[in-house]
């Protein structure tokens, strides 16, 4: 997935991220991907707490498909690659990978919906965000 449109976020695996088998617990990969998407948005100049506060908008995962390929372990230095694969009126689809160096450990396709914070109904993604990602 590595290309010019990819946002890459580095992270370190902590003991708290691992399970009794000494590998990253499966749901923590979703946490890593969530953080990478948040940092991607921040890199474009958009803070999620301000989107909520000023526009009444939140992004929420509406669907995902994930494939676990190899385990990550305590103290591994990882990178989470995030690439915008599709843009809709009220949703974004990300292709994401967790890698150790060039080795892909986990990949996912994650759809996030743009929602009204009070009604939790889909709302259009603000034009400023759409312009920044095009």
Which uninterrupted H or E stretch holds 48?
helix 48-55
Q: Are 87 and 130 in contact (CB under 8 A)?
A: yes
Q: Which residue of the set 17, 19, 75, 101 is catalytic?
A: 19
Spatial distance between the Cα atoms of 111 and 62, rounded to a whole number of angstroms = 6
Spatial distance between the Cα atoms of 62 and 91, rounded to a whole number of angstroms = 9
19 in catalytic set: yes
Spatial distance between the Cα atoms of 112 and 100, rounded to a whole number of angstroms = 25
Residues listed for the chain = 134
Residues with a catalytic annotation lie at 19
């Amino acid at each position: 997935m590595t290309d010019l449109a990819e946002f890459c976020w580095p992270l370190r695996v902590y003991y708290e991220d691992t399970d009794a088998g000494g590998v990253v617990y499966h749901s923590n990969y979703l946490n890593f991907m969530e953080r990478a998407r948040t940092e991607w948005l921040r890199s474009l100049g958009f803070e999620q707490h301000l989107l909520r506060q000023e526009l009444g908008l939140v992004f929420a995962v509406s669907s995902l498909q994930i494939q676990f390929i190899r385990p990550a372990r305590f103290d591994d230095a990882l990178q989470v690659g995030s690439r915008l694969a599709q843009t809709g009126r009220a949703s974004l689809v990300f292709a994401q990978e967790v890698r150790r160096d060039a080795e892909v450990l986990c990949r996912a396709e994650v759809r996030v919906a743009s929602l009204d914070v009070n009604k939790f109904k889909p709302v259009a993604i603000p034009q400023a965000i759409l312009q920044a990602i095009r």
